Amino acid sequence: MTDRPHLAVIGAGPAGLAATLAAAGHGSRVTLIDSAAEAGGQFYRQPATELHARRPQALHHQWQTWERLRDGLHNHVKAGSVQHLTEHHIWFVERLPRGFAVHALLGPEQQDPATVHADAVLLATGGYEQVLPFPGWTLPGVLTAGGAQAMLKGTLTVPGRRAVVAGTGPLLLPVATGLAAAGVEIVALVESADPRTLLRQSRTLAAHPGKLGEGVLYTGQLLRRRTRTLYHHTVVEAHGTDRVEAVTVAALDAEGRVRPGTERRIPCDTLAVSHGMLAHTDLAESLGCRLDGTHVHVDEEQRTDVPGVWAAGEATGIGGSGLALAEGHIAGNSAAARLADTEPDPGEWAAAAKSRTKLRQFATALDRVYRPPAHWTEQVTDDTVVCRCEEVTAGAVREAVGALGAGDLRTVKLLTRAGMGWCQGRVCGPAVAGLAGCALTASRRPFARPVPLGVLARAGEESAQ
């Protein structure tokens, strides 16, 4: 068995699971590597086993799809065709003369190393949320909408009792309905998108009745709970001293500016906020894969431009779980065929390819609807912390840009330390780019997460042998 070609799939969310099942089904030996204790990724994040949840489906939709993925993985693991490595936090994928070495840190502690060798790698690294700053966004009780959802799905806990869900994007509705079902009072849903833009995209969106149905379902649930929903509004400030106590929201004008005089204060103990998603591209970048803007470039077979490296799901462009499943399926099929030295037959994944085309169109249409307010930077006061790790204010960033002439993220970082902290600019990158008036570019981090120096030294010795 061990002489069969070996594919390492990185990430056990929808894309990674679909890829694993496709590749293993076509005779590849697959090692599925993921940082969580259980498969599912963020979308299908499961409650910890010890919580013994008998009805986890109450926290999810598309549960049948999850059951199919979960059971498929289970059967392949039992048959020995797939090895599932949990709690492996990958910090680097190394290109070797033949194949690849996937370097990971074990467990939640992330002190001890593990290395997996493979003939090819498939990056299904997913994405994370973008949140743009506003006064008060560093107060405890202000968190990402996806973070609130992850804590609910994974640990069955909620951040507070009275929440405002705000920002923009298709994630806000499921987060609001999920929190409401778990007993949180949603005092307002604040979406910056203009419903008129939604109408302009209605032809493309209407081509996806299933997707629209999800939205209608969530909206219906919120209506039944009489949740106040404010479209074309934005949060301008979160108030409190040691915890958020209220938010001020305001209406937007046609240009995306706050309309003076429309501000109103809403008491709450939680603000769950999201301004869209960003792709995890660190591993692809350090492998030398070509990026298109902030996501990994792939061809029709989901191959990157580095031989032996495939990518699928949010890493190749934000599009949701359905698109991730289609891309993963195609990538897994292609990788299995090419690892067996055969030419893949695209006819085998015709349905997935069709679905991929339609869902990419849908994602593009959503992207035109769900945008942060065009002039969001005007609401960011000089004393607002922008880089949460290094506590760099908007004033400091503006000084670096205005007085010192910084025109890109790297120069702002060198002058202010914004982006130099623990999160390595993942959180503040979009904000600094907005304030500096430059594009958000890939940051070329050498490693995908902090690595103990001892581990780094030993990894170097091993590779030199």
- List residues near other proteins by CB under 8 A: 35, 42, 47-56, 58-59, 108-109, 128-129, 138-144, 146-152, 154-160, 181-183, 242-243, 388-391, 421-423, 426-427
Tell the smallest beta-carbon distance from residue 416 to other proteins (Å).
13
Tell the smallest beta-carbon distance from residue 155 to other proteins (Å).
4
Tell the smallest beta-carbon distance from residue 389 to other proteins (Å).
7
**What's the rounded Cα separation, in Å, for the pair 233 and 221?**
21
Q: Which is nearer to other proteins, 49 or 465 (CB)?
A: 49
**What's the rounded Cα separation, in Å, for the pair 242 and 111?**
33
Q: Which is nearer to other proteins, 25 or 452 (CB)?
A: 452
CA nearest to 269, candidates 147, 146, 135, 163: 163
CA nearest to 449, candidates 86, 91, 36, 114: 91
Tell the smallest beta-carbon distance from residue 185 to other proteins (Å).
9
CA nearest to 332, candidates 79, 120, 85, 126: 120
Q: Inter-axis angle of helices 145-155 and 172-181, to 10 degrees?
A: 40
Contacts of 13 (CB under 8 A, 6+ apart): 40, 41, 42, 43, 44, 124, 126, 313, 321, 324
Q: Which is nearer to other proteins, 297 or 449 (CB)?
A: 449
Q: Which is nearer to other proteins, 128 or 349 (CB)?
A: 128
Q: And the tokens for 286?
A: 């350090």
Q: Which is nearer to other proteins, 160 or 317 (CB)?
A: 160
Centroid of chain to Cα 376: 22
Q: Which is nearer to other proteins, 110 or 333 (CB)?
A: 110
Tell the smallest beta-carbon distance from residue 87 to other proteins (Å).
10
**What's the rounded Cα separation, in Å, for the pair 246 and 270?**
8
**What's the rounded Cα separation, in Å, for the pair 105 and 130?**
26
Q: Which is nearer to other proteins, 139 or 309 (CB)?
A: 139
**What's the rounded Cα separation, in Å, for the pair 128 and 281?**
11
**CB atoms near residue 343 (< 10 Å):** 7
Quickly tell me which residue has 């910056």 as its tokens: 192
Q: Inter-axis angle of helices 321-339 and 350-369, to 10 degrees?
A: 140
Tell the smallest beta-carbon distance from residue 408 to other proteins (Å).
23
Q: Which is nearer to other proteins, 20 or 35 (CB)?
A: 35
CA nearest to 232, candidates 191, 202, 291, 263: 191
CB 300 within 8 A of CB 331: no
Tell the smallest beta-carbon distance from residue 340 to other proteins (Å).
36
Tell the smallest beta-carbon distance from residue 271 to other proteins (Å).
11
